[in-house]
Amino acid sequence: VAISDGCDLCGRIERTERGENPFSVVRTATGYVNLADVQYHEGYTVFVAKRCVAELHELPDSERDEFLHEMALVAEAVFDAFQPRKLNYELLGNGAPHLHWHLFPRHADDARLGGPVWKDPGFLGALERGPVDPARLVPLKLRLLPALERRHLTIECRFE
């Protein structure tokens, strides 16, 4: 898998593989399931492609199809684990041009449930405050990992 110098997400993958990224949950056939830095929406998960490309069409067809299939299974696992009212899927990559899906559980108590997370000042404030204390990730991983394991997903590696 190609790692690009200067890519923030490739840097995270390298830290994951060295066992230094507490946000990582599993590696699948095509990507990495990570809890997001910010947990304003409990269970917010990011599915990062193994391959460092900016656009879906830059993946070989078979890899693109498998990546999308795995993303749907990861999303289903997030839903299973965190029981939101609604799940949001976003593939943006303006700031970090390395394919990564944002999977946002929108919970019943979400004050901005009718709109995009990016218009929620509470979420934007949480982003500014920076990553959550890794201790907070432990109970979330305990919910997400078994939900991932219940799907027909290729789990190549689990990260403690």
* Binding region for Zn ion (CB under 5 A): 4, 7, 9-10, 52, 98
Give the nearer residue to Zn ion in terms of CB position, either 41 or 98: 98
Burial of 6 (0-12, 13-18, 19+ CB in 10 A): exposed
State the nearest-atom distance from the C-beta of 11 to Zn ion, in Å: 8
Give the nearer residue to Zn ion in terms of CB position, either 52 or 144: 52
State the nearest-atom distance from the C-beta of 98 to Zn ion, in Å: 3
Give the nearer residue to Zn ion in terms of CB position, either 13 or 75: 13
State the nearest-atom distance from the C-beta of 143 to Zn ion, in Å: 28
Give the nearer residue to Zn ion in terms of CB position, either 54 or 138: 54
Cβ contact 97:54 at 8 Å: yes
Q: Strand 31-35 and strand 100-106: pairing?
A: unpaired
CB-based contacts of 11: which residues, under 8 Å, 6+ apart? none
Rounded Cα–Cα distance for residues 101 and 50 (Å): 12
Give the nearer residue to Zn ion in terms of CB position, either 94 or 135: 94
Q: Strand 45-49 and strand 24-28: pairing?
A: unpaired
State the nearest-atom distance from the C-beta of 67 to Zn ion, in Å: 14
Q: What residue type is assigned to position 68 of the chain?
A: L
State the nearest-atom distance from the C-beta of 86 to Zn ion, in Å: 29
Q: What angle do CA 77, 93, 88 make, to 5 degrees?
A: 35
